[in-house]
């Protein structure tokens, strides 16, 4: 399956990669692994979802933010790996969710990210994962997700 054809079927357009907001590499390739720095719901350089889930943001809105983080991850990978068809498998996902006190549905939020990768890569999109609640994220974003991919 060609990944770009699958993206077209899913009506996913890859944006320009998110600009770096610190002293780090958006993607670091080491051997046959690609490590993607945290990606959030950023479009055209601006956060599209801010606030805490369970107070300011619904689970559904946060899932959409996680989907946007997945699309931004794919854009970064495309930029640094050169061809998304080089992705053999998604290895690990670590998702952070800005959470109101008492909110404990972080896995449901990060499902938005995970489902996008499964939709794009099929069974090779399934991965090990952690979903963690936190009190704050950069620029007030609701979701930030880092990920690891095995590449050819």
DSSP collapsed to 3 states, 78-145: HHHHCCHHHEEEEEEEEEEEEECCCCCCHHHHHHHHHHHHHHHHHHHHCCEEEEEEECCCHHHECEEE
List per-block mean pLDDT (blocks of 10 residues) for the chain, which spans 152 residues: 94 90 91 97 94 97 98 97 96 98 97 98 97 96 98 95
pLDDT of residue 17: 87
pLDDT value for 21: 77
* Widest Cα–Cα separation across the chain: 43
Task: Identify the pLDDT of residue 117.
Answer: 98
pLDDT for position 65: 98
10 Å Cβ neighbour count for 50? 17
* Domain boundaries of the chain, sorted by first residue: 3-15+38-151
Q: What pLDDT, on the 0 to 100 scale, is given for residue 123?
A: 96
| CATH number corresponding to 3-15+38-151 | 3.30.1330.40
| The predicted structure's pLDDT at residue 99 | 98
DSSP character for 42?
E
């Amino acid at each position: 399956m060609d990944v770009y054809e699958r993206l077209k079927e899913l009506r996913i357009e890859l944006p320009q990669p998110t600009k770096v907001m610190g002293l780090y590499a958006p993607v670091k390739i080491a051997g046959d692994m690609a490590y993607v720095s945290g990606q959030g719901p950023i479009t055209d350089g601006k956060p599209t979802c801010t606030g805490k889930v369970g107070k300011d943001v619904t689970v559904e809105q946060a899932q959409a933010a996680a989907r946007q983080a997945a699309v931004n991850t794919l854009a970064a990978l495309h930029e640094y790996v050169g061809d998304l068809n080089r992705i053999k498998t998604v290895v690990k996902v670590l998702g952070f969710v800005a959470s109101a006190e008492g909110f404990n549905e972080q896995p449901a939020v990060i499902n938005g990210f995970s489902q996008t990768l499964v939709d794009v890569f099929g069974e090779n999109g399934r991965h090990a994962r952690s979903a963690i609640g936190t009190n704050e994220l950069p620029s007030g974003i609701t979701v930030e997700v880092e990920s690891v991919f095995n590449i050819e």
